[in-house]
Every structure is written in structure tokens, then in C-alpha cells.
Amino acid sequence: MTTKAKPKSRILEAVHDTACDLDRLGFIDKRKQQKLDVLCLEPIPPYDSERIRALREHLKLSQTVLASVLNTSPSTVRKWEIGEKHPSGPSLKLLNLLERKGLEAVL
């Protein structure tokens, strides 16, 4: 389930790759790198109830443990999985990070 964020175009992909290399070498700071990420990469897709449940089951986590990892309540995760609520903000980004990089990236 690890996928890389897709660039909007080949040109933006080249810009982003160059910026990542410059960041890795210490020539640009994290804030500029984050701005380039926003400009170059596609936004995080929405997570529906089935996708959240599938991710949780793939990671072999209970709703309570996933809630702890995301720093939210178990009832919130439960509501996401039955479709009453949808993740947003930091929770959405953390879900995307979990899906792309795995549990080790968040812990």
C-alpha cells in the first residue's frame, strides 16, 4: 500500500525532485520545501469509510490503536468507518502518510 504522491506535471516533477535534492543537501530550508510540495504535488485525496477500514486492517490495528496513532478518539475513527464523519486536516495527512509510508513513519 505504499504509493508516492504524484506530481501535477513532468515539469513540476523535475522542480520537486531538484528541490528535494537541495533540501537534502541543506541548501533550502524545510519551509521552502513544504511550499514547493504544495505547489508541485497533487492534494491529498479524500478517505472514505471503506478506504479507512482497509488501511486499518492492512496495518493490523484496532480502531482504538489507530485512534491513538492519529491522536484522535476511538469514537472518531468509528464514525469515519461508518461514514458519519470524514477525516480532515492533520488526520487526513496522517492517514495518507500511513498509507504511503507505513506505520513506522508515524511512530
Q: What is the pTM of this model?
A: 0.67
pLDDT higher for 35 or 70?
70
Asked whether 99 and 3 are in contact (CB, 8 A), the reply is yes
- CATH number for 49-105 (one of 3.50.50.60, 3.30.420.300, 3.40.718.10, 1.10.260.40): it is 1.10.260.40
Residue 106 pLDDT greater than 90, yes or no: no
- The ranges assigned to domains in the chain are 10-40, 49-105
Q: What is the mean pLDDT of the chain?
A: 88
Taking the C-alpha atoms of residue 1 and residue 16, their distance in angstroms, rounded to an integer, is 23
Among the listed residues 55, 68, 54, the one whose alpha carbon sits nearest the alpha carbon of residue 97: 55
Any alpha helices (H) in 71-106, and if so which ranges? 74-82, 89-101
pLDDT higher for 7 or 42?
42
Question: What's the rounded mean pLDDT across residues 40-58?
Answer: 91
Residue 86 pLDDT greater than 60, yes or no: yes
